[in-house]
């Protein structure tokens, strides 16, 4: 069985119930700034980096603003909502602390840097992670492996010695493309498809099942 030397968490949908927060913020932003929401836009943007989804909002949804401004303004709205109430998933804090007692932890997220830092501060989890990476800091968002590869690089652990914790279709495929063992905790609102579920090494029903034993068992031979 392959040895695991580090665990890399996704953020949205794994630690915070936030996909719907981002979705609502983008929908409202598009409507308020002259764009038009289209069917399939939500799923299309799942896993995209901030540069990718803000360009999508401009090019596909018709908001006539620079992508950098779109990204900053939407992320600012999400951050304001988090300061009012952080939608930390039940059991998430305990799961992170549990695994941090055994492995080095990193985080690989599609969220903007300011949002990642805010969430970990509000959840009192900053000290548990040795590195955090936003997909805006790499070339491509999920399902490309870039954000996971960079997270592994920053903690100096080979990708094949890492386990990734994911909830979304593109996130699972991203971690798999990086060569990591993949533990899926499927998102209830935006469920991953069959292709992604087949790519996971282990599927859990909730983060409460994310134990040291579950991570060890997920490592393929």
Active-site residue numbers? 10, 12
DSSP character at residue 16: B
CB neighbourhood size of 85 (10 A): 9
C-alpha to C-alpha distance for 43 and 40, rounded to whole angstroms:
6
Q: Classify 81 as helix, strand or coil.
A: helix
Q: Classify 204 as helix, strand or coil.
A: coil
C-alpha to C-alpha distance for 216 and 152, rounded to whole angstroms:
18
CB neighbourhood size of 33 (10 A): 17
Q: Classify 202 as helix, strand or coil.
A: strand
C-alpha to C-alpha distance for 23 and 131, rounded to whole angstroms:
26
Contacts of 155 (CB under 8 A, 6+ apart): 6, 104, 106, 130, 131
């Amino acid at each position: 069985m392959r040895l695991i030397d580090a665990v890399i968490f996704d953020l949205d949908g794994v630690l915070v119930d936030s996909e719907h927060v981002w979705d609502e913020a983008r929908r409202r932003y598009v409507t308020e700034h002259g764009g038009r929401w289209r069917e399939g836009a939500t799923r299309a943007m799942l896993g995209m980096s901030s540069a990718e989804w803000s360009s999508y909002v401009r090019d596909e949804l018709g908001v006539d603003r620079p992508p950098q401004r779109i990204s900053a303004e939407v992320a600012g709205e999400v951050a304001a909502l988090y300061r009012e109430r952080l939608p930390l998933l039940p059991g998430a804090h305990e799961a992170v602390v549990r695994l941090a007692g055994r492995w080095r932890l990193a985080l690989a997220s599609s969220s903007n840097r300011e949002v990642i830092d805010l969430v970990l501060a509000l959840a009192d989890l900053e000290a548990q992670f040795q590195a955090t990476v936003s997909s805006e800091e790499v070339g491509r968002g999920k399902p490309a492996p870039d954000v996971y590869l960079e997270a592994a690089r920053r903690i100096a652990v080979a990708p094949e010695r890492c386990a990734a914790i994911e909830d979304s279709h593109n996130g699972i495929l991203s971690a798999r493309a990086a060569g990591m063992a993949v533990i899926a905790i499927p998102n209830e609102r935006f469920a991953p498809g069959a292709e992604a579920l087949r790519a996971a090494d282990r599927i859990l029903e909730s983060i409460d099942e994310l134990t040291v034993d579950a991570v060890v068992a997920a490592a393929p031979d």
